[in-house]
Amino acid sequence: MLDTSSVPLLKTWLSARPPGTIVDVGAASGEFIREMRTLRPQSRIVAFEPTPTCATLLASTFASDPLVRIRAVALSDHLGTAALKLYPEPTQNSLLEQSAIADCGRIEVPVSTLDTECMELGDLLPIEVLKIDTQGHDLAVLRGAAATIRRDRPLVQVEVIFAALYEHQASPGEILAWFESQDYTLADMSMPHHDAEGRLAYADWIFAPGQAAGAADQRYFCRDASMLAGNLRMYQQAAEERLSLINRLTTEISRRS
């Protein structure tokens, strides 16, 4: 899910464009859909979720919303069917196998590409935001969406996994290289998760088309709360030390006078 409160880039991006279509690949229980309906109520949303129970619940939840369309299909870089591996936590379901946990069942699901789906749906407005969270299969989804991404140039959020969670999962380097080949730049990061040792496990990377911003505007902002708190403590300590020195000097000057 994209935490819009921590990603001002998304709000800036949407405010500069007319309402279009938001695509959610790996919709799970619909948190991203709800967030987008609040942030961008005029936009259409097309959500893809291959887990039948989740897709059914999503279809029921948003049945009265004409701007939300649910597609019970897995996205990849090919057409056909594939075995969806099921895990105790449905958000971990994937076309890939987990490295350390055995699945608790498998079901055959239809597989399509975003390029194909966009052609078949036909009446979609240009895609303004594309979110992909498919548990290690994200690079295949991107490859199957290449034509759509080149055409609409949306802002793209994709989950990047650093820990060894799934067999044959896409590496961060592969995802970064793919976006560079499409003239996209890593523009922001959201929802970083770490393991018990403090190492980065997975996060959402946000890519924007074109090169990084130039140096004309030198205003930069830090959103790392722990770093800001540390800097604040350092500045307070320095201020207290200087104030103490000033008080001692003032006292000494008064004594000598």
Residue 252 pLDDT: 80
pLDDT tens-digit series, residues 44-64: 999 999 999 999 999 999 999
Q: How far apart are CA 127 and CA 49, in angstroms?
A: 18
In the prediction, which pLDDT does 224 show? Answer: 59
What's the whole-number mean pLDDT along residues 9-27?
92
> What does pTM read for this prediction?
0.82
> What is residue 250's predicted lDDT score, i.e. its pLDDT?
83
Give the pLDDT score at 228: 55
The SS3 call for residue 226 is: helix
pLDDT confidence bin for 161, thresholds 50/70/90: very high
Across 66-78, average pLDDT: 97
Q: How far apart are CA 229 and CA 33, in angstroms?
A: 33
Per-residue pLDDT at 245 exceeds 80: no
Q: Looking at the chain, list the stretches that DSSP marks H as alpha helix, in order from N- to C-terminal side.
A: 8-15, 31-39, 52-61, 114-121, 138-143, 146-152, 172-181, 225-256
Model confidence at 5, pLDDT cuts 50, 70, 90, reads: very low
DSSP for residue 135: T
Number of other residues whose CB lies within 10 A of the CB of residue 144: 22
Q: Is the pLDDT of residue 134 over 70?
A: yes
| Assigned token pair, 121 | 């749906």
**Alpha-carbon gap, residue 142 to 147, rounded angstroms:** 10
How far the first Cα of the chain sits from its last, in Å, is 67
Q: What is the pLDDT of residue 172?
A: 95
Mean pLDDT for the stretch of residues 10-19: 90
Of 208 and 5, the structure prediction assigns the larger pLDDT to: 208
Q: What is the mean pLDDT of residues 32-38?
A: 94
Tell me what pLDDT residue 122 has: 83
CA distances from 66 to 120, 247, 253 (A): 18, 69, 78
- The pLDDT tens digits for 174-222 are 999 999 999 999 999 888 899 999 999 999 999 999 876 555 566 656 5
